[in-house]
Amino acid sequence: MRYELHYWPTIQGRGEFIRLALEEAGADYVDVGNGSEEDGLGMPVMETYLNGEATPFPPFALPFLKAGDLIVSHVANILQFLGPRLGLAPEDEALRLWAHGLQLTLADLVTEAHDIHHPIGSSLYYEDQKTEAKRRAEGFIKERIPKFLDYFEHVLEDNPKGDRYLVGDSLSYVDLSLFQIVSGLRYALPKAMQRIEADMPKVVDLVSRVAQRPNIKAYLASDRRLPFSENGIFRHYPELDEV
């Protein structure tokens, strides 16, 4: 099965959570958004799905995954779908529901991480909401990042199968997503994260182990791994970081 990932070109964004799962599993996939129009890829083909021309089931937004005739939208939905197919989800129903719940919690954190630079509206420039962004970032750093990361620290600590993975005793897509979020937060808010991470040894250890997995390590070193930037979710605006 050759999977098609449909997502904006040039940024990691929400597509990165899907890329990491596909790369870890060594899956066959096409990154449609970053492909060229000459090859029948790129924005034009994605547009035909978003505008309903190519399907009666148009996604509201990117990313979406195409797997044969199936179209799956939203990161958590895509990962829930891919997980069992890529060997990145537990077998047990209770644990699958648990993994999906954790992923949806991470999705909320991603939205909050985005909204620190766009608290008033996504269609406005950052420059037009800088004052509000500063205020929102303060609460995010002071209350929200610690609350979320402390939760995942406890999930690891209380995992009946040991503290190496978030779900069960082997790697799942949730571990990969936590890796991506911690990496993004480190890029966006390095000072705040340095302080906060000191209290989260199990999260930090998991993130390090994910980065060292052979397929992930090779991916991160490749040019398929797009850089973090100020066009993505995690943006480094030094004025939003703590002093």
Residues lying near a copy of itself in the complex (CB under 8 A) are found at: 52, 56-61, 64, 69-74, 76-77, 80-81, 93-94, 97-98, 100-101, 104-105, 108, 111, 115, 119-121, 123-124, 132, 135-136, 139-140, 143, 148, 151, 154-155, 158-160
Q: Find the shortest distance in angstroms from Cβ 34 to a copy of itself.
A: 23
Look up tokens 């979710």; give the residue: 233
Q: Which is nearer to a copy of itself, 60 or 223 (CB)?
A: 60
Q: Find the shortest distance in angstroms from Cβ 140 to a copy of itself.
A: 8
Q: Which is nearer to a copy of itself, 134 or 225 (CB)?
A: 134
Phi then psi dihedrals of residue 234, to 5 deg:
-95, 105
Is 87 within 8 Å of 25 (Cβ atoms)? yes
Q: Find the shortest distance in angstroms from Cβ 89 to a copy of itself.
A: 14
C-alpha pair distances (Å), 145 with each of 46, 65, 134, 138: 34, 29, 15, 10
Using alpha carbons, select from 99, 81, 89, 79 the residue that is nearest to residue 170: 89
Q: Which is nearer to a copy of itself, 121 or 190 (CB)?
A: 121
Structure tokens at 112: 């909050």
| Cα-only R_g, the chain | 18
Report the alpha-carbon distance of residue 236 to residue 228 in Å, rounded.
Answer: 9
Q: Which is nearer to a copy of itself, 81 or 237 (CB)?
A: 81
Q: Find the shortest distance in angstroms from Cβ 58 to a copy of itself.
A: 7
